[in-house]
Amino acid sequence: MTHYDLVIVGAGSGNMIAGHDFSHLRVAIVDRGPFGGTCLNRGCIPSKMYLHTAEVAHSAATGARFDLATSYDGADWPAIRERIMGRVDENAESGREGQSEKDWVDVVVGEAHFTGPRQLVVHLADGGETELTADQVVIATGTRPTIPPIDGLDDLSESDRRRVHTSDSVMRLSDLPASMAVIGGGYVGSELAHVFASLGTAVTQVESEDVLLASQDREVAEVFTREVAERYDVRCGAKVVRVEPAEGDGLLLTLDDDSTLTVECLLLAVGRRANSDVLAVEKAGVDTYDDGRVKVDDQQRTSAEGVFALGDASTGHPLKHVANHEARVVRHNLLNPDDLQSVDHRFVPQAVFASPQVASVGLTEAAARDEGIDLAVGRTEYADTAHGWAYEEDDRNGPATGHVVKLLADRATGLLVGAHLVGPQASVLIQPLLTAMAHDLPVKGLARSQYWIHPALTEVVEGALLDLERALRH
């Protein structure tokens, strides 16, 4: 049994903690590998590299809207995969090597679980096991995909099971599938549906809600659903109730309306669950929510003395920028126990990097009204701006997109309480609105307190702020 001053379980955002400020301590980082967590290996980074590739393909396929004789003639999927995942694997290995080179850090490759308070057993990747104890422990073990209870799924043969994927595996497919069913209409399912549809796969996306991205503001979700449904098959208000081998090849899916689909592969994207059960956190005295997330206070401390948690293992905002923020707070609090910092989750932005992009922060209109807020609403469509003309956002050359910036303010305070965007560059355009919310800047005068570059797309944000200011006056 080896004792450490600090054991960090999970090398995603947990990998940020043990810098030179910890060189006076003995630290162990435990991860079954590869280093970098979900974001680097199976999530944000590779998916966005695939998404940019998809955008290039989609642009080539839709050049006629801009009077261009372009076409999309297919993808070299193995080359795309190797370009993207090769870089990911290289970074994961360099992250592990970087920690191994630190004199004060021991890298332990294996799967850990608690056996008692601040005591763990690690089943090593190369066989055997080791026991660790620590003065302090950080839980940063992230999540894994949820597998929905679909009839027939567990009965598939081994060869047919290889046709069933989650976001953890689908980006490493050996070949681009001819057809795919995506179960789930959240951001993971919607982003990956865009990738495969743009590259040439016949995609069917199945979502039990009546719109995709149902957690977004209703207007945004409706615009998004309508637009993607023009590109591939979208089945909202539906569920897959059975999976079985298809005659000849592929999988046969039966939906709850008795319709069927035959596809080459199936992507399950219905959510993720925390890995606290794998870690056996209850043996360490760590309390969890019903969904498995570790309970933490504002300083990221768990119910067990000396045990912190961060990132997807504990947060209600499973986003990399949130995990990084929490890692910085945990890092400070480990080094400064008499001067603890608290996390700030008041204004957490999120984005969906599909086509169109979606970005949001704060309350939706429905949630704000449910809270009884006296609400003012401002909105501007991309088509109302000069740069929107460059994107052919209006109906002069095909159907209008309906892409919009929608802003919500509390009449009592004059402050923004929500911002919702759907359209090109939404993930970038939201940033000045987030800044205004984080610094409690009133809507009144905000648009005219600064220059807005003309004719940049940021003018759609300016227009929405001006419309919101008018709404506040009435």
Separation of alpha carbons 272 and 281, rounded Å: 18
* Residue 440 counted as domain residue: yes
* Global confidence as pTM: 0.96
DSSP secondary structure, 308-338, as one string: EE-GGGT-SS--HHHHHHHHHHHHHHHH-TT
Is 299 in the same domain as 390? no
Q: Read off the CATH number of the domain in which 191 is found.
A: 3.50.50.60
The verdict on whether 454 is a catalytic residue reads: yes
Mean pLDDT, the chain, integer: 96
Is 374 in the same domain as 415?
Answer: yes
139 and 277 belong to one structural domain = yes
For residue 179, being part of any structural domain is answered with: yes
Q: What pLDDT, on a 0 to 100 scale, did the predictor assign at position 399? A: 81
- Residue found by looking up tokens 């592969």 in the block: 265
pLDDT of amino acid 201 = 98
What tens digit of pLDDT does each residue of 357-382 get? 999 999 999 999 999 999 999 999 99
Helix axes 187-199, 218-228, angle to 10 degrees: 20
Q: Tell me, yes or no, whether 91 lies in a domain.
A: yes
Gap between the Cα atoms of 14 and 112, Å rounded = 15
Cβ pair 150, 243 in contact under 8 A: yes
The alpha carbon torsion through 154, 156, 157, 161 (nearest 10 deg) reads -90
Q: For residues 85 and 83, what is the distance between their CA atoms, to the nearest angstrom?
A: 6
Decide if 296 is inside a domain. Answer: yes
Euclidean distance between CA atoms 11 and 15, whole angstroms: 5
Give the DSSP H or E segment for 189: helix 187-199
396 pLDDT higher than 90: no
Cα–Cα distance, 431 to 361 (Å, whole number)? 10
Contact 466, 447 (CB under 8 A): yes
Compute φ and ψ for 283, nearest 5 degrees.
-70, -15
User: Based on the structure, what is the number of domains in the chain?
Assistant: 3
Lookup result for tokens 């119910």: 303
According to DSSP, the residues that pair with 379 across neighbouring strands are 406
Q: State residue 397's pLDDT score.
A: 78
Q: Judge if 381 and 435 occupy the same domain.
A: yes
My answer on whether 172 and 138 are in the same domain is no
What is the per-residue pLDDT for 21?
95
Instruction: Give the residue carrying structure tokens 């919500």.
Output: 408
Q: Which residue has the tokens 């919607």?
A: 190
CB 103 within 8 A of CB 125: no
The helix (run of H) or strand (run of E) holding residue 207 is strand 202-207
Specify the pLDDT at position 139.
98
Q: Quick check: helix, strand or coil at residue 55?
A: helix
Shared-domain flag, residues 126 and 12: yes
Name the residue among 360, 359, 361 with its Cα closest to residue 424.
359
DSSP state at residue 8: E
Same domain (yes/no): 463, 395: yes
Domain closes at, from 270, 299, 319? 270
Q: Which of 420, 439, 454, 474 is catalytic?
A: 454
Domain check: are 310 and 191 in the same one? no
Give CA–CA dist 238/256, Å, rounded: 6
pLDDT > 90? residue 119: yes
Nearest-angstrom CA–CA distance, 452 and 366 = 30
* Residue owning tokens 């049994």: 1
**What is the spatial distance between Cα 192 and Cα 186, in angstroms, rounded to a whole number?**
10
Residue 294 has φ and ψ, to the nearest 5°, of -75, 135
Q: Above 90 in pLDDT, residue 248?
A: no
**Residue 63 is assigned to a structural domain of this protein:** no
Instruction: Say whether pLDDT at 229 is over 90.
Output: yes
* Same domain as 186, residue 263: yes
What are the backbone dihedrals phi and psi of residue 185, each rounded to the nearest 5 degrees, phi first?
-115, 20
Give the pLDDT score at 33.
84
Whether 302 is in a domain gets the answer yes
Please give the single-letter amino acid code of residue 26: R
Question: What range defines the domain where residue 223 resides?
Answer: 153-270
In a domain, 57, yes or no: no
- Does 300 reside within a domain? yes
Q: Give the Cα separation of 156 and 22 in Å (integer).
A: 49
Indicate the residue type of 152.
G
For 352-403, give the DSSP string.
Answer: E-SSS-EEEEE--HHHHHHTT--EEEEEEEGGGSHHHHHTT-SGGGSS----
Provide the token pair at 148.
Answer: 């929905």
pLDDT at 395 over 90: no
Sign of CA dihedral 267, 268, 269, 273: negative
From residue 40, give the alpha-carbon distance in Å to each of 19, 93, 168. Answer: 19, 11, 11
> What are the DSSP calls for 283-302, one per residue?
GGT--B-TTSPBP--TTSB-
Is the Cβ–Cβ distance between 296 and 308 less than 8 Å?
yes
